[in-house]
Chain A
Amino acid sequence: MNTLSVKENFVVRMALFDNVDSAAESIAKLKEAGIDDHDMTVLSGVPYPEHVLGRPMTWERLPLIAMSGAGVGFLIGLFLNVVTPLLYPIRVGGQPFVAIPPTIVLTYELTMMGLIVSTFLGVLWESTFPSFGPKYYDIHISEGEIGVLFQVTPSKLKHLTDLLQVYGAKSIIEPEEWRL
């Protein structure tokens, strides 16, 4: 979950944690208290896998995008090796116009280039980069703290704040929207 779509009449809070155990436990407690996974986002300075924090697995299209890019690269490689020599046939070094060994070399390079470029573009697409905000953030995240960003109805806020403090939240703040 990259962004939190704030619902009407909900308030947003960020609980900051020093360690991952407290954060994971608090996320579990938030879920027990009725906060849906879609109403939470975790921000951290280190990549914690979903299962460490007890979060749902992210649906992943990146491998598909990467493979598609590789496919496009492969086709471009085939075009350059198989089609272009026939557009203006010139015999070089006694080799056939379309020769398999050089085709392997070039299609391989272009396939890899397609894979690499599409993986990069895939990351930008999937993470909606660049996106400079305003977005909920706190500078403590890049200092190693874990921020659990959640939205809740005002009536439940007090109860959840107390609960998170019991489970080790260092602070619970009303997060600012930053222009990153």
Chain B
Amino acid sequence: MLSEKTAVTQSENYWRKHLMLDPRPVREMNQMILTAMTTVNKRYWITVTTLTLFVTIGLIGAWGYQIFNGMGVAGIRRPVYWGVYITNFVFWIGISHSGTFVSAILRVFKAEFRRPITRASELMTTFALTVAGLYPLIHLGRTWRFYWMIPYPNQRQLWPNFHSPLMWDMLAIFTYLIGSTLYLYLPLIPDFAMARDRTTGWRHRIYRILALGWRGSESEWHHLKQAITIFAFAIIPVMFSVHTIVAWDFGMTMVPGWHSSIFGPYFVVGAIFSGVSAVATVLIILRKTMQLDYFLREEHFDAIGKLVLVFSFAWTYFFFADYLTEWYGGEAVGKELLTLQARGPIAPLWYIMLITNILVPWLTLWNRKIRTSPKALLVITLGVNIGMYIERYIIVAGFLTRNRLPFDWGAYTPSIVEILISIGSLSTFLLLYVLASRLIPLIPVWEVHEGQISHTLRRVGQALLPSVSELE
């Protein structure tokens, strides 16, 4: 027989650990979110000012300088025509996989821990794609010629070449950007209505427009839920296609190290690996800076830590499959690429990548204590993203330094303009996120409340166990 004292102890244990089993009045949760959104201190404004400064220097100063003086100010030279701009592009597209994976896939599989973390990750997707979208323009050099890729005929009635992976890329990124932005916005409507009802002044005016007149009627909910389901199923294949097509930008060429059929899935897995790690990093920072301890708990870091570990396994598998094929083939240029990584000028970067992407996650994330320690997880996930950036850098700029003609080998060092633009774009992402954190409810209160209604503790033998009933 389960004693009352044991039952109370077990219940308290669950309340402390699981958000879904620790319901609070919706009024209180709304207030927590609004307080987090409307509280700005001196440190916040210093952050905003610093990031604005970096954005101005990078994207107005350095990019403006490059537009004015031409691509010669960048470090790309024969044979390395793709440098940090394309590395950054691939990296940010990878980060953008966070939202879709964490939100859509976990929603489809009804993973309950997703509820408080979907919004923060969806927001990452939209902002990461915005930043990624800048890089084709930056790399283009003559940015004003961008309209040549818009699908309409020019004055000679010539249409863009739709056989080009670059056209596929543009359309895939637009599809993903539109899809992920709408997927971010739809579940936000009820939260905007909540904010509309509790704010005044300029905030009220903005939320009123964004809430579209939401009341929470049966039909509104019905359409919203159905649309979210359609979006969740539709956005997953789009997510896979986007990074696959980015990989095909490389794979469709005959460049040694790039012309590989495994590049599509290899890039997708790498993108999810870095995206999920970035979600962990952002959630840890949000929890600390916005006092979201009630919503973001150990269970969430534990679950994300497990995902990071699983994707570390998956990424390693693809990395090794690609490496082994090159090694076994024994082609001269392939051998040279492997030597370049193991003993060449980029060897230190390659070893850092192996340590941060394989060694550290494998040695640490099997341990629950480490997974649930925000500080440890922050260090590990930041390390993963440094490692993933290096991986992209090696693939993009590193591999181009070697080719089939040894007299045409070269070296690449990013110029100060490229470095400043890279810092500017990173700052753009951070600035957008920091500003949005005070404008957008980062926790979907209605989804949390919906989950809390569905969860109860049920007695099974000598224990109280969590039980979920599906409302749908």
**A contacts, CB < 8 Å to B:** 1-3, 20, 41-50, 52-53, 55, 58, 60, 62-63, 66, 80-81, 84-85, 87-88, 90, 92-93, 95, 99, 102, 105-106, 108-110, 112-113, 115-117, 119-120, 122-124, 126-127, 129-133, 135-137, 139, 141-144, 180
Residues of chain B from 205 to 232 with CB closer than 8 A to chain A in the complex: 208-209, 211-227, 230-231
Asked if A46 and B168 sit within 8 Å, CB to CB, the answer is no
B7 to chain A, nearest CB (A): 23
Asked if A88 and B217 sit within 8 Å, CB to CB, the answer is no
Residues of A contacting B225 in the complex (Cβ-Cβ under 8 angstroms): 47
Asked if A109 and B175 sit within 8 Å, CB to CB, the answer is yes
Residues of B contacting A46 in the complex (Cβ-Cβ under 8 angstroms): 446, 449-450, 453
Counting chain B CB atoms within 10 Å of each CB, which of A66, A88, A99, A109 scores highest? A109
CB closest residue in chain A, given B171? A109
**B contacts, CB < 8 Å to A:** 25-27, 30, 151, 153, 156-159, 161-164, 167-168, 171-172, 174-175, 178-179, 182, 186, 190, 193-194, 196-198, 208-209, 211-227, 230-231, 234-235, 237-238, 241, 245, 446, 449-450, 453, 471-472
Asked if B163 and A119 sit within 8 Å, CB to CB, the answer is no
Given A45-B26, A63-B230, A102-B168; A80-B223 close (CB under 8 Å): no
Given A52-B471, A116-B178; A1-B215 close (CB under 8 Å): no
A175 to chain B, nearest CB (A): 11
Residues of B contacting A93 in the complex (Cβ-Cβ under 8 angstroms): 163
Residues of B contacting A141 in the complex (Cβ-Cβ under 8 angstroms): 215-216
Asked if B238 and A60 sit within 8 Å, CB to CB, the answer is no
- Between A and B, 26 residue pairs with Cβ closer than 8 Å are A2-B217, A43-B215, A45-B190, A45-B449, A48-B218, A48-B221, A50-B218, A58-B218, A62-B223, A85-B159, A85-B162, A87-B159, A106-B168, A109-B172, A110-B175, A112-B234, A112-B238, A115-B234, A117-B178, A120-B186, A130-B209, A130-B212, A142-B216, A143-B27, A143-B30, A144-B25
Residues of A contacting B472 in the complex (Cβ-Cβ under 8 angstroms): 49
Residues of B contacting A180 in the complex (Cβ-Cβ under 8 angstroms): 193, 196, 208, 211, 213-215
Asked if A142 and B171 sit within 8 Å, CB to CB, the answer is no
A171 to chain B, nearest CB (A): 15
Asked if B186 and A123 sit within 8 Å, CB to CB, the answer is yes
C-alpha gap A41/B220 in the complex (Å):
11
Asked if A113 and B178 sit within 8 Å, CB to CB, the answer is yes
Given A20-B453, A44-B216, A129-B212; A116-B224 close (CB under 8 Å): no
CB closest residue in chain B, given A19? B453
C-alpha gap A158/B218 in the complex (Å):
26
Residues of B contacting A52 in the complex (Cβ-Cβ under 8 angstroms): 471
Residues of A contacting B222 in the complex (Cβ-Cβ under 8 angstroms): 47, 50, 58, 60
CB closest residue in chain A, given B451? A46
Counting chain B CB atoms within 10 Å of each CB, which of A93, A108, A122, A142 scores highest? A142
The 4 A-B residue pairs with the shortest CB-CB distance, nearest first, are A144-B26, A47-B221, A84-B159, A130-B212
CB closest residue in chain B, given A40? B218
CB closest residue in chain A, given B225? A47
CB closest residue in chain A, given B470? A49
Q: Known contacts A50-B218, A53-B218, A93-B163; can you find 8 more A-B pairs with CB under 8 A? A: A45-B449, A47-B221, A47-B224, A58-B219, A60-B222, A80-B151, A116-B182, A180-B208
CB closest residue in chain A, given B157? A88
CB closest residue in chain A, given B189? A129
Residues of B contacting A48 in the complex (Cβ-Cβ under 8 angstroms): 218, 221, 471
Residues of B contacting A92 in the complex (Cβ-Cβ under 8 angstroms): 161, 163-164
Residues of A contacting B175 in the complex (Cβ-Cβ under 8 angstroms): 109-110, 112-113, 116
Residues of B contacting A124 in the complex (Cβ-Cβ under 8 angstroms): 212
Residues of B contacting A115 in the complex (Cβ-Cβ under 8 angstroms): 230, 234
Asked if A113 and B179 sit within 8 Å, CB to CB, the answer is yes
